[in-house]
Structure 1
Amino acid sequence: MKRSRRLLNRVPNSKTLTLKAADELEGKPPARRPKSIRRKPQPSPKILSLPPPLSNPPGKMTILPPEFFRIDSLDLAQRLLGKFLRRDDVILQITEVEAYRPNDSACHGRFGITPRTAPVFGPGGHAYVYLCYGLHTMLNVVADKEGVGAAVLIRACAPVSGLDTIQRRRGQKTEKPVLLTGPGKISQALGISTEWSNHPLYCAGGLEILDGPDPEKILVGPRVGIEYALPEHVNALWRFAIAGTAWISAPKNTLRLL
């Protein structure tokens, strides 16, 4: 120990000398540092594409009354998020919608009452189902009072019950969001056609809308595919979705928290 001190005193700036250097001056092999323990990377948790199970069994779910739907379509759109569509063994949870209002240049009501659009002017709570581009069947929920001409388009859902039936109708054996993210896919999964237009969604049997939990947070953005409309309607933030779910259609980058 005395020798080590004498050696250190002979070296300039000895205060900055490390123990390793002192050992080398004494002819000792440098002390080995303990090897760092390499930890194996932990696998990231698996993200399930399907929503969590319902707190209430399907048999005890409540059909929403007509009064629920007879409000402004902008309000109804947000209230429909988290609610359930049921037909036979298929139950879907509504995750994304768009509101279409009176005097809206993107709403079918702008054409007035025709054989096709007549259900839009009916009482709130009825279905308005139409064929888009001759290919996709689109399900809408009529809003407001009779004669107003407003509706809410169902853009995306998450499967809750009847997955096998949904996959068979869709022709896709998948549990990923692509199964039900897009308005045409919803009608296909439910097995409905334009013949369901004007169907009351508050009556038991057939196609029903059931009560469900309100989302904690909502995303909002402009509607999709309405470039033909007036600028104020193209840019209107009348598209709504449940925040935090993967079951939302494209584009997602136009959505933000409400």
Structure 2
Amino acid sequence: MARLPALCLTLLLLAGCAAQKPPLPEKPEGHRAAWQSFRESQEILSGRPRSVSLRAIIFHSAKGRTDRLQLEIWGNLDHPLRLDAQAGMAARAALVRETDVGWLAFYPQRNEAVRGRDGSPLTMGIDAPFSLADLARLLFGEAGSLLPESYAEAMDDEAGFGYAFAPGGDVSGLVLDERARPVRLTGRGGAWSLRLSYDGPSPLARPERLRLELESGGLARLRVREAERKESPWPAEALDLEIPPGARLISADW
């Protein structure tokens, strides 16, 4: 009978080992393996804490003019999310709150608030093709929510593994680097192209820099200064956006 506890302990240890997934390959071989590694990394990242905070600098150019903004994003990657954009030491350019049913943006310099259900509130200099949640997830390494579950075609690319998707979604193409991390996304019809750059070698690294080019000629370059996932959720009041009395209210859905 003395051997029974030891036998039980051995079975528990074996069960625990069997439940563990193998580590992600550092450099998968072939398009199918790279895609599988990418989907597994996205599953790991989406299981990490959803409360986040991030600071970044963005340079955006359109119609011959280049501007610089400091961005602060905080909240829950699955909503709600807040963004403050600051043009100078104290001049706030835009304040945004996004939920799963719509968004509200306030522009202090115009004393104007815009509310919408569809589209994107990210119209600071150029019209971004993403929601605030899309952008936040991308900056924390989560590109999977923008992509379908499978690809229609695989092709070689100088940057790594290329994939094309069937019509229907906003993203028509994806390129993964040798570590199965997204380094380029292409919008449907070539409307936009997004490049992502990393500093570390980990397959789970988040991008440090984004470069968005629009077919219309707009360009935005973003660099992350600091980013953090938080174990505890943000208090509700930290994610509110109060519009001052007297501000002009506009609907983006009209």
Please tell me the TM-score bracket, short chain as reference. Answer: under 0.3
Larger radius of gyration: 1
TM-score (norm 2): 0.26
Instruction: Using structure 1 for the length normalisation, give the TM-score.
Output: 0.25
Structure that is richer in strand per residue: 2
